[in-house]
Amino acid sequence: MKYFTKKIDKVDGVEKVDDICRSATQPGEGWYEAPENWKGHHGMPTSWLDKDNSVIPEDKRVELGIQKDHRGTYYDKETGKETKITKLDKEPSDNLTKEKPLENELYQLFDKKKNKWIVDEKKKERAEKEMQLGQYKAEIADAEQRRIRSVLAINVDQTPNDDDVKYDKKFRERILELRPLIAKLKKELETA
């Protein structure tokens, strides 16, 4: 047989008393007899008990408004990582939200004031500039590689044809156009 006490709206002490020595050790005043197969525990709110001291089932507690149902899918406000809460009484941390992150958006953050995910314009702009910078650098490397044959013809043979000169000029001019763009992007990324 189990007995328990109540202290400030919580189950406080839980004692199991053997039937054989009940008369010698039966708890005194302030102790309540628990029904057979009692599912209660220390620290459980006494509001979860009915008039017979049986534990009210979870779904009934939610229906009666005695307990909140926190089960569901939550998302970390920093990473957007999905977390599932499957236990009714497990309250989610302050770093979790039920708001689903934006779909197909790499650069987002959770706005705590608006309580929703928004596009992180700063990160997105920075990523776009870094990508553009990489493309410009790749284009310069490609242009320099393409110039090699015409530069060799001009410098080594010293008898370049018109195509060699045009080809070299075309890629040299593109390289000269790209260098200031690269410098500008680098400067913007340093100050961002």
Q: What is the rounded CA–CA span in Å between residue 120 and residue 117?
A: 9
In a domain, 157, yes or no: yes
Please report the pLDDT score of residue 157 as a whole number: 63
13 & 49 share domain: yes
In a domain, 64, yes or no: no
Q: How many other CB atoms are there within 10 angstroms of residue 122's CB atom?
A: 11
Written as one letter, the residue type at 192 is A
- pTM of the predicted model, to two decimals? 0.59
The SS3 call for residue 60 is helix
C-alpha to C-alpha distances, 28 to 5, 14, 20, 24, 104, nearest whole angstrom: 10, 13, 17, 11, 64
137 & 186 share domain: yes
Q: How many other CB atoms are there within 10 angstroms of residue 49's CB atom?
A: 21
90 & 129 share domain: no
Q: Give tens-digit pLDDT for 95-148.
A: 999 999 999 999 999 999 999 999 999 999 999 999 999 999 999 999 998 888
- pLDDT grade for 23, boundaries at 50, 70 and 90: very low
Q: How many other CB atoms are there within 10 angstroms of residue 19's CB atom?
A: 6
Mean pLDDT of the chain: 86
C-alpha to C-alpha distances, 184 to 177, 178, 181, nearest whole angstrom: 12, 10, 5
Please report the pLDDT score of residue 134 as a whole number: 96
Percent of the chain whose pLDDT exceeds 90: 46
45 & 78 share domain: no
**Which carries the bigger pLDDT value, residue 1 or residue 130?**
130
95 & 137 share domain: no
Judge whether residue 20 has pLDDT over 60.
no
Please report the pLDDT score of residue 39 as a whole number: 84
131 & 101 share domain: no
Range of the domain at 95: 72-119
The SS3 call for residue 23 is helix
In a domain, 143, yes or no: yes
In a domain, 61, yes or no: no
In a domain, 25, yes or no: yes
Domain count along the chain: 3
In a domain, 16, yes or no: yes
